[in-house]
Structure 1
Amino acid sequence: YIYIGGQSAVLEIPFEGEHELENAIHCLAVMLLLGINQETIRQRMASLTLVGTRLEVIEGVNGCLLVHDNYTSDFNSLAPALDFMKRRITPDCKAMVIVSDLMHDADTDLEDLYRRMAELLAIAGVSRVIGIGPELMAHKGCFGPESEFFASTEEFLHKKSTSDFRGELILIKGAPEFGFGRICELLEARQHETVLEINLDAVVSNFNAFRSRIKPTTAIACMIKASGYGAGSHELARTLQAQGASYLAVAVHDEGADLRRAGITMPILVLNPTVENFHALFADRLEPEIYSFDFLRALIREAGRYGITDYPVHIKIDSGMHRLGFLKEDLPELIELLRSQDRVVPRSIFSHLCAADDPMEDDYTQQQFDYFDECCRMLLSAFPERKILRHILNSTGITRFPDHQLDMVRLGIGLYGVKTMHDGSQDDLRPVSSLNTVIISLKNWPEGTTIGYNRRGTLKRQSVIATIPVGYADGINRHLGYGNTSVMVNGIKCPTVGSICMDACMIDVTDVADVKVGDRVEIFGENIPVDDLAEVLGTIPYEVLTSVSQRVKRVYYRE
């Protein structure tokens, strides 16, 4: 490089990626502007290490929850990692940290650095600290009496076992050279090679994409029923609570109760509250959908038993789906019943569109809007003293019918990055879930060889066949075998071969250069849209997402 016409100089950086090169050039320009000499620049650039950027949340052993921070381990990165962890603390789960020596400049006052680190951990409510590295060993006096210290990761792994960790929220944060990935592997609850990765940044992006389509005064209820459409509800709920969603919606009482146990405090709507234990519904502050007189009367009766008044409920109107809800002719009796008591009060009135994504059915959709509007006017006029929210739009409705957003909208499949419209109107959505596995075996077979059960797969050429550890017990439908779908390996689409087995399936990787055992395989995600699998199966993406088995490890991450 040459700076302002001076003499040329040379530096080396240990990276080849385009983004890393661009960042290095920015840093070089700043250091030259600040007058730092060329030799210092050369030394510092050569000592750079690649920085990871992922924060992962993983189910741990013995009821633990792991937050694995793959970012650089310096003091400035500790605070955001602790903030991310604190959002997941529950009353029955203590917070602890496994941390390495911090990265720092050569002239740093180490006593002051680790004293500030200890103060930051204490403020974050961390009850237990495990420090790894010679610097932490030398400054262990800065930390509390429950803290433990080890000279190296190897010493920690030798002296500690999974039985030393139980019911804790554990932040694992180490500089790259300490190899903390081995600690994470030790403490993970599942060691299955097949993983459903959930990108929480994509959840935020999709939430904001739909929020940009509505007025600032319109509330958003986020659907996380069926365990967040297979992605897992707890982390999604925490993320949406932090983003400012107005409501979460679940299918049944148990789903809402689990969210309360996980520390979710925001309002939760239960869409199918066929519960016997009304006390649990009240205790967890779960707001039920009311779709029949029988259920409403039972709820009022039980609320009286427990001395409850003004409990919020949500009135379901059947405007055309013909599944659940009150009809317009039911409303006079419903209003009379609601006004005759003070145990429950209407918090919202809502209905469900049945064909919002089909332009050929727009006349019917408009009839639903008109029918619902009439019902809303009847209910709202009967309760002029009360603010009752109106909502009818789903993900597709938000996109196609913004004039009917009313007081609240319900964001479902769009939150997970699955497009319901393919006309470009939802191209800003990002896939949230990706199902990935690895190659565990490679074999070369001649033309004519049969692969799998009942010899259903016959090779038409000399082929390289890989076995991957994912099958119908993991949620891979057997109809996806026989070449009916492809997976992605190193940027190449590879068709399935033969039958899908219970725990494995075979794929043709002949066209993948330098393929090897351990290579990553995408079943669906960024490159293989879940819509493609749904189309092969003649179903909808909802079914594919919710079919992923609970034995498949879920990993949540943010960049």
Structure 2
Amino acid sequence: MTKVAETVLEVDLGALRHNYEFLRSTLRPGTKFIAVVKAFAYGHDSRIIAPFLEKLGVDYFAVAYTSEGIELREAGVRTPIMVLHPQHVHFNSIIDSQLEPCIYSRRVLSLFLETARSRNLKTYPVHLKFNTGLNRLGFEEKEVAALVYQLGQQQHIRAASLFSHLAASEDLNEEAFTRNQIELFKTMAAAFEKQAGYKPLLHQCNTSGILCYPDAHFDMVRSGIGLYGYGNDETKDKLLRRVGTLKTIISQIHHLEKGESLGYNRGYIAEHSTVTATLPLGHADGIGRQYGKGKAFVNINGKKAPIIGNVCMDMLMVDITGIDCQEGDEVIVYGGFPTAEEFAATAGTISYELITGISRRVKRIYTE
């Protein structure tokens, strides 16, 4: 850990290595590993994270959108990249960058086939998504026969994998639902393989699936949040290491007398003599207004400093009454104490939303 002089997201690549190696150690030999690096690698910068993971030996990367895959190619990544939610307008860019689209509906299949024919492609790899209960994207069980038939009438594309997404793999109260999803996926995959005459790679487990349902690892697994140190369960979290720590500094200290106000719309009125610190971090950096008015706190010299008043675009204010600190001192927003989960929970949200929302204008510092 380094002392900072500005707002930074400190990214521990050693922790990333640990998490990857731990998650990989839970798999059977030969099971492939997909590193999910969408959303700027969950806020940690995919242009740095993906090349690092590529050197560690990941088998695939997954991104949400085409632009994210192109950015990885421009960063020098050569490992296969699947695009989880491609749009028709980007199909030529996908092919130009040798990305692999996930096909989730008859419409998307027909449109990509049209592009593949026009480009005279041969057995271009695609990934077919099956809907087993999440009900966002994917082919239904009743569509498998027609899907196989349509694929069998051409040679422009070929299914590299079949996959689905677990809806509640972190919630053991939903184990029966998850087991039903797994069994439905097996049924759909078996029907596809029998009718198509070949076996694509199968994958369904996300991070929580990897940790809770080892019998469903199949040929590949996908991990996103786990790589960055979050296991969605207190027990599992202890096996992982947090990759990102958001830090800032105290810009200025103010002394308020009883009745004086602070910030926009007089969002805080001092009920007694109060000492406040202004930090160079705001909702444009990813710390939204929902964290203000005493909900969240930051760590200043090991003490809780509640966020008070309304969070501004570029600044927020905290109550440092009774805390021994001075201007220029370091502040931990999340990472350690509080954790990202703890910080997010104060506003009724989850770590995913918090860490993926950290603005690109926040400087990233990498350590190992």
Q: Specify the code of the residue in structure 2 equivalent to 1:541.
A: S
2:220 paired with 1:412: no
Residue of structure 2 equivalent to 1:366: 179
Q: Return the alpha-carbon distance in structure 1 between the equivalents of residues 296 and 243 of structure 2.
A: 21
> Secondary structure at 2:332's aligned position in 1?
strand
CA distance in 1, matches of 2:33, 2:122: 26
The one-letter amino acid of 2:71's match is D
Q: Residues 192 and 348 from structure 1, CA distance in 2 versus in 1: closer, same or farther, beyond 3 angstroms?
A: farther
Tell me which of 97, 100, 113 is aligned to 1:287: 100
Q: Which runs of structure 2 are paired with 1:142-153 in the superposition (5 Å)?
A: none
State the AA in 2 paired with 1:527.
Answer: F
CA–CA distance in 2 between the matches of 1:279 and 1:449?
60
Give the distance between the partners of 2:88 and 2:361, measured in 1 at CA: 28
Residue 197, structure 1, aligned to residue 7, structure 2: no
Residue 401 of structure 1 is matched in structure 2 by 213
Identity across matched positions, percent: 38
Amino acid aligned to 1:319: T
Write the distance in 2 (CA, Å) between the matches of 1:548 and 1:404. 33
Q: CA deviation at 1:275?
A: 3.2
Checking the alignment, whether the CA contact within 8 Å between 2:88 and 2:111 is kept in structure 1 is no
Say if 2:62 is the partner of 1:258.
no
User: Could you tell me whether the CA contact under 8 Å between 2:295 and 2:347 is conserved in 1?
Assistant: no
Instruction: Give, in angstroms, the shift of residue 298 of structure 1.
Output: 1.9
Q: Give the aligned partner of residue 536 of structure 1.
A: 346
Q: Is the 8 A contact 1:492 1:511 kept in 2?
A: no
Aligned counterpart, 1:159 = none
Structure-2 residue corresponding to 1:440: 251
Corresponding residue number in structure 2 for 1:311: 124
**Does the C-alpha gap of structure 1 residues 275 and 193 become closer, same or farther in structure 2, counting only changes over 3 Å?**
farther
Gaps of 5+ in 1: 1-52, 55-190
Amino acid in structure 1 at the alignment position of 2:203 = H
Cα pair 2:134 2:167 within 8 Å, conserved: yes
| CA shift digits 1:323-367 (9 cap, x unpaired) | 111111101111111122111011000001111122222111111
Partner secondary structure for residue 299 of structure 2: strand
Given candidates 214, 218, 224, the residue that maps to 2:27 is 214
Matching residue of 1:516: 326
Instruction: Name the SS for the 1:276 alignment partner.
Output: helix
Deviation digits for residues 181-228 of structure 1, max 9, x if unmatched?
xxxxxxxxxx99211222111111111121121112111111111111
Whole-Å separation in 1 of the counterparts to 2:196 and 2:15: 40
Partner of 2:295: 484
CA RMSD of aligned residues (A): 1.8
Distance 1:261 1:510 in 2: 49
User: Is 1:463 the equivalent of 2:277?
Assistant: no
For 2:337, the equivalent position in structure 1 comes to 527
**Counterpart in the other structure of 1:324:** 137
TM-score w.r.t. the length of structure 2 is 0.95
CA distance in 1, matches of 2:231, 2:263: 35
Give secondary structure in 1 for the equivalent of 2:248.
strand
Once residues 375 and 316 of structure 1 are traced to their aligned partners in structure 2, the CA distance between those partners, rounded to angstroms, is: 11
Q: Distance in 1 between matches of 2:192 and 2:5?
A: 53
What residue is the counterpart of 2:262 in the other structure?
451
Q: Distance in 1 between matches of 2:47 and 2:267?
A: 41
What letter is aligned with 1:544? L
Q: Distance in 2 between matches of 1:195 and 1:440?
A: 14
Structure 2 gaps of 5+ residues are: none
Higher relative contact order (CA 8 A, sep 6+): 2
1:240 is aligned with what amino acid? L
Match of 1:552 in 2: 362
Shift of 1:461: 4.0
Decide whether the 8 Å contact of 2:291 with 2:347 is kept in 1: yes
Q: How many residues align structurally? A: 367
Alpha-carbon separation, structure 2, partners of 1:217 and 1:511: 56
Q: Deviations over 1:48-75 (max 9, x none)?
A: xxxxx98xxxxxxxxxxxxxxxxxxxxx
Whether the aligned pair in 2 keeps the contact of 1:192 and 1:552 (CA below 8 Å) is no
Paired amino acid for 1:442: I
How far did 1:488 drift? Answer: 0.7
| Cα distance change, pair 360–395 in 1 and its aligned pair in 2 (3 A) | same
- Rounded Cα–Cα distance in structure 2 between residues aligned with 1:233 and 1:457: 38
